[in-house]
Amino acid sequence: MQFPISSSPFTPRNNSISRVMLHVLYALLPVTAIHSYLFGYGLLIQLLLAVSTALVTESLCLLLRKRAIKPALYDLSAVLSAVLLALAIPSIAPWWVIVSGMVFAIGIGKQVYGGLGYNPFNPAMVGYVFLLISFPLQMSLWQESSNALSLSDSLAIIFANGSVLDGISGATLLDGVKTQLSTGLSLIDIKMLPVDERLNLIPFAYCVGGLWLLHKKIIQWQIPTALILGLCLPATLAYLIDSRQFSSPIFHLVSGATFCAAFFIATDPVTAATSNKGRWIYAGLIGCLIYIIRTWGGYPEGVAFAVLLANLAAPSIDIYTRSKIR
Amino acid sequence: MDKNIRTSFINGLWHNNQALVALLGLCPLLAVSNTVVNSLGLAIATTLTLVLSNGLIAYSRGFILAEIRLPLFVLMIAGIVTIIELMMNAWFYQLYKSLGIFIPLIVTNCAIIGRAEVFASKNPVLPSLLDGLVMGLGFSVALILLGALREVLSMGTLFSQAELLFGASAQHWQMNVFDDYSGVLLAALPPGAFIALGLLVALKNALDLLFSKK
């Protein structure tokens, strides 16, 4: 019997970009399913718009740069950015919001720097911040979870300027708590707000997908752990000092995009720090910044800004945590 | 001489454009270019300063000691800017208010001291005046293009508030490029200025590449 003989390095051969991206996309399936179950068809339409815009923008940019189009489309990185951005924005925002955000994310956030591997910032977060700053009104149309929208209603709201918006949109939990804290109410009074328990399914779904990615060794455990610690340590400290002013660490963990950031955004291999020590610092910094922006910043949610700031710091973190060769 | 004038125009407007190629004077360029009218106001003030300072420095180049020339240039430019500031305060008060600190800051515009050092201190008065005019025009074109781009993107209009510069008869000059436009707020903010300038520089380089191939 003969065994095939191969030379070093003896690494698994199937760890290509498209395999990594495909696994991350699989891991986002649970949250997509639960989101659609809770809120209706909005997200699916946004996903369709985002992916098609991302692919068209990527192709046009590559055409202008006179590069091969096919490999860049098949590596699925643009599709992943599109899915992340579609998940990040309100699912009942008008169609031009996701389209312009995607054009900016891929065009300015990625291709201007030279495409995948050269972009210093996470393209999905560049697109999100662009939308948040440019269209504050449309970006705060968060849907109430009480009734899921039918396909025709979702289409009407996204493609025609539906006037039904007032009835179905409301503040997110982070937003509501922040606004009421600023009016002088203490957290004990705010706790009375009715909260849909089913909403906790969404962070749970992110967790499931993330843990599966960890199991498949697509992402490293250091980044999610450090991010969650970086967020929870200051939150716990502040909560112990004054629980009437500062939200509990559990609240910070399950509301907003904490788990999404921990497992799917901060772990982007291009824009994160690359050494193990660097990953701890990088993700811990994101967690801390999320807490600071949520608590004292002007926006209710700080994930996108925190990630972009840490992206900016990642090259320096890499330089200072480089392992020394003796 | 005619040929010289032509080459200096092409240089000032294209090959050595102070804003798009030399990347000088970016602080006022980025800060004030949120509307066409603001851009135009600053463009006129900057061009006027460039012409006057180039002329004055070329005239006095014979009796300025080389060792102390830079402080003297700054003093002369500051004097000219102060005169222009007072004139704007008197005649275009609203525009003066909306441009604010960026009129006195023309003193620190590197394009002006750059032309003084590179050109005016080595050339006679007339060519220096021409150089100031041409470089000012190049800077103005970039500034107004940037202002137009940012105004269209952020508000969907052109020439809004034209009455600040052209008097009450210009109140209806505002053009609505898009109807029912919600506006990209980012374009009006500082990051929008940086991104738009980057795109303009890229466009200029792309055109250069296109011409050089032909």
* DSSP characters over B14-27: IIT-TTTTS--SHH
Does residue A209 sit in helix, strand or coil? helix
Does residue B39 belong to any structural domain of this protein? yes
Q: Which two tokens stand for residue A224?
A: 């999610």
Q: Do the Cβ atoms of A135 and B182 come within 8 Å?
A: yes
Surface of A (113-142) touching B: CB under 8 A: 130, 133-138
Neighbours of A251 (CB within 10 A): 17
Range of the domain at B174: 2-15+26-213
Per-residue pLDDT of chain A (326 residues; tens, 9 = 90+): 677 776 766 665 556 888 888 999 999 999 999 988 888 888 899 999 999 999 999 999 999 888 888 888 888 899 999 999 999 998 888 888 999 999 999 999 999 998 888 999 999 999 999 999 988 888 887 777 666 777 777 777 777 765 555 556 666 777 777 776 766 666 666 655 556 677 788 888 999 999 999 998 888 899 999 999 999 999 999 988 888 778 888 888 887 788 999 999 999 888 988 888 999 999 999 999 999 998 888 888 889 999 999 999 999 999 988 877 75
What is the pLDDT, as a whole number, of residue B122?
86
Pick the residue of B182, B194, B213 with the most A CBs within 10 A to test the interface with A by mutation: B182
Distance, CA of B140 to CA of B46 (rounded, Å):
8
Residues of A in contact with B185 (CB under 8 A): 133-136
Q: Do the Cβ atoms of B184 and A100 come within 8 Å?
A: yes
Residues of A in contact with B183 (CB under 8 A): 134
Does residue B20 belong to any structural domain of this protein? no
Does residue B145 belong to any structural domain of this protein? yes
> Each residue of B114-127: pLDDT tens digit?
888 888 888 888 88
> Among A172, A111, A109, which Cα is nearest to A144's?
A172
Q: Do the Cβ atoms of B185 and A133 come within 8 Å?
A: yes
Does residue B148 belong to any structural domain of this protein? yes
Distance, CA of A162 to CA of A94 (rounded, Å):
9
Does the CB of A299 have a partner CB in chain B at under 8 Å? no
Question: Looking at this protein, which amino acid is placed at residue A112?
Answer: V
Q: Do the Cβ atoms of B182 and A138 come within 8 Å?
A: yes
Residues of B in contact with A138 (CB under 8 A): 182
Does residue B98 belong to any structural domain of this protein? yes
Cα angle value B100/B106/B111 (rounded, 5°): 145
Does residue B52 belong to any structural domain of this protein? yes
Q: Where are the alpha helices (DSSP H) in chain A?
A: 17-27, 29-39, 42-64, 70-74, 77-88, 95-107, 123-134, 151-159, 165-168, 173-182, 187-190, 201-215, 222-241, 249-254, 258-260, 276-296, 303-320
Distance, CA of A244 to CA of B45 (rounded, Å):
56
Does residue B21 belong to any structural domain of this protein? no
The pTM of the full predicted model, rounded to 2 decimals, is 0.85
Could you give phi then psi for residue B129, rounded to 5 degrees?
-60, -45
Residues of A in contact with B184 (CB under 8 A): 100, 134-135
Instruction: Looking at the complex, report in whole angstroms how far the Cα of residue B102 sits from the nearest Cα belonging to chain A.
Output: 25
Instruction: Looking at the complex, report in whole angstroms how far the Cα of residue B154 sits from the nearest Cα belonging to chain A.
Output: 9
Instruction: Looking at the complex, report in whole angstroms how far the Cα of residue B176 sits from the nearest Cα belonging to chain A.
Output: 19
CA distances to A206, B50, B123 from B68, rounded to whole Å, are 67, 20, 18
DSSP code, position A259: H
Number of structural domains chain B divides into: 1
